Amino acid sequence: MLNISDPNKSKDKQQALPFLDFAFRPFFLFAAIFSMLSLIIWNGVLTGSININLYGGSLWWHIHEMLFAFSATVIVGFLLTAVQNWSGIRSLNGKALAALVLVWLAARIAFFLPEQLPNSLIIALDMAFLPLAVIALAKPIIQAKLWRNLLFIPILLVMATTNGLLHYSAATFNPILMGQASTFMVLLITLVMCIMGGRVFPMFTANGTKTPRVDAIPTLEKLSITSILIAVIVGSGFIELPAPIVASLFIAASIIHAFRVYRWKFLVTLRTPLVWSLHVSYWCIAIGLLMFGLSEITHVVSHSQAIHTLTIGAMATMILGMISRVSLGHTGRNIVVGKTMKIAFVAIIFAFIVRVFGLYFIANYSHVLSLAVALWVIAFGCFVVLYLPLLIKPKAC
């Protein structure tokens, strides 16, 4: 059972530096801060107000950093925290955790120094993070023989391989490979979201709203994971299939996941922001899959709109909800948020709406992008301001 809702009850003494006591502390905080900085830089580059030489070029850098420096980093922080609950074995902390954080940070800095550092060093720094995280995650899982959770190991390894493909696309100036690898990574993260959502969202809904938990339908659960796994395989274009077939598979997956999240009873969550935000994020998975399918066979929506529905509507909203919840639980606070995080959740949802549909009502693309970035900064800025004291201080109880 995946348990992340209760504060971790470690038998070890707290670290002298609480910030390095669990992986969620540095990785949630740094990923949130970096997401804001990177989007401000990306917006500045597109609007011409910032002129900077980035490894891989500005578009490559934007895609890579939002997928790997932000999303994958949050996943790593989440898994390296949850694995102690799963196994009862102390997870990565202290100096070892600090070393992993420094590897992550060194790669972020190196991308700004393509003229000063050899490409091989930049690639090595960035490529090291996920394999090192896999080692830290695999050890307690294998020791405790938690074979059900072993699936996260190959997923992270595939992410690491995808990172390698993305670097190869930069080295060979191959925009087609860049698009394929980045789309594959988006869908792979969507797979992780579907796995996590199915495991914990019904529990969170029941606990947060004090209503009966919705029982899973085994066949539906299998169809949900199978359909998104097929989407991962066929959606990137690595395997060439006729567009109508790809579209049909994505639309079918959308219907399956829409039915899955519909059963979780969104309406009972309306007074519980930490729950309704997660429901909204999962609805965006269903919408994103539908748009992806439609983009294959029509001009009603674009591939970019489908991707940003998955990355902002689903991914960013789910990340904001999950890091807020996990940070409260694992620092010994009540799992309840106030007005500040309500504003944050609303802001990230509007960031999705503006980025994906903004051109329908705002003619200037740069204004659309700037507004979406501003809303993202408000959302994750609220998290940073509110949660920074919690993440650097000792556990409350």
Domain contains 4: no
pTM of the complete model: 0.94
Clarify whether residues 125 and 166 are in a common domain: yes
Average pLDDT of the segment spanning 5-34: 75
| Long-range Cβ contact pairs of 385-392 (< 8 A, separation 24 or more) | 385/340, 386/340, 386/341, 387/28, 387/29, 387/323, 387/324, 387/327, 388/29, 390/327, 390/328, 390/331, 390/333, 391/19, 391/24, 391/25, 391/26, 391/28, 391/29, 391/327, 391/331, 392/18, 392/19, 392/25
**How many CA atoms lie less than 13 Å away from 118 in the CB half-sphere?**
3
Clarify whether residues 350 and 375 are in a common domain: yes
Domain contains 131: yes
Domain contains 386: yes
What pLDDT score does 141 carry? 93
Percent of the chain at pLDDT > 90 equals 92
Clarify whether residues 55 and 194 are in a common domain: no
Q: Could you give the C-alpha distances from 21 to 15, 32, 73, 143, 392, in angstroms and in order?
A: 6, 19, 17, 21, 10
Domain contains 254: yes
Query: In this predicted model, which residue has the larger pLDDT, 145 or 290?
Result: 290
Clarify whether residues 244 and 344 are in a common domain: yes
Domain count within the chain: 2
* pLDDT of 96 strictly over 60: yes
Last residue of a domain, one of 152, 173, 194: 173
Last residue of a domain, one of 132, 152, 173: 173
Considering only CA atoms, give the Rg of the chain.
20
Clarify whether residues 144 and 192 are in a common domain: no
What pLDDT score does 395 carry? 87
Clarify whether residues 167 and 186 are in a common domain: no
Clarify whether residues 207 and 343 are in a common domain: yes
Domain contains 3: no
Q: Which of 27, 20, 25, 75 is nearest to 329 (CA)?
A: 25
Tens of pLDDT, residue by residue over 115-141, are: 999 999 999 999 999 999 999 999 999
* pLDDT of 3 strictly over 60: no
Clarify whether residues 71 and 148 are in a common domain: yes
Tokens of 368: 């659309």
Domain contains 29: yes
Query: DSSP letter at 165?
Result: H
Domain contains 10: no
Tens of pLDDT, residue by residue over 179-201, are: 999 999 999 999 999 999 999 99
Tens of pLDDT, residue by residue over 299-320, are: 999 999 999 999 999 999 999 9
Average pLDDT of the segment spanning 338-366: 96
Clarify whether residues 185 and 256 are in a common domain: yes
Instruction: Count other Cβ atoms within 10 Å, centred on residue 11.
Output: 6
In which domain, by residue range, is 87 found?
17-173
Average pLDDT of the segment spanning 36-60: 96
Last residue of a domain, one of 112, 140, 173: 173
Query: Which stretch of 82-86, 245-249, 283-287, 348-352 has the lowest confidence by average pLDDT?
Result: 82-86
**Residue 78 banded pLDDT, cuts 50, 70, 90:** very high
Clarify whether residues 46 and 191 are in a common domain: no
Q: What is the pLDDT of the chain when averaged over all its residues?
A: 94
Clarify whether residues 35 and 181 are in a common domain: no
Domain contains 12: no
Clarify whether residues 51 and 100 are in a common domain: yes
What pLDDT score does 148 carry? 84
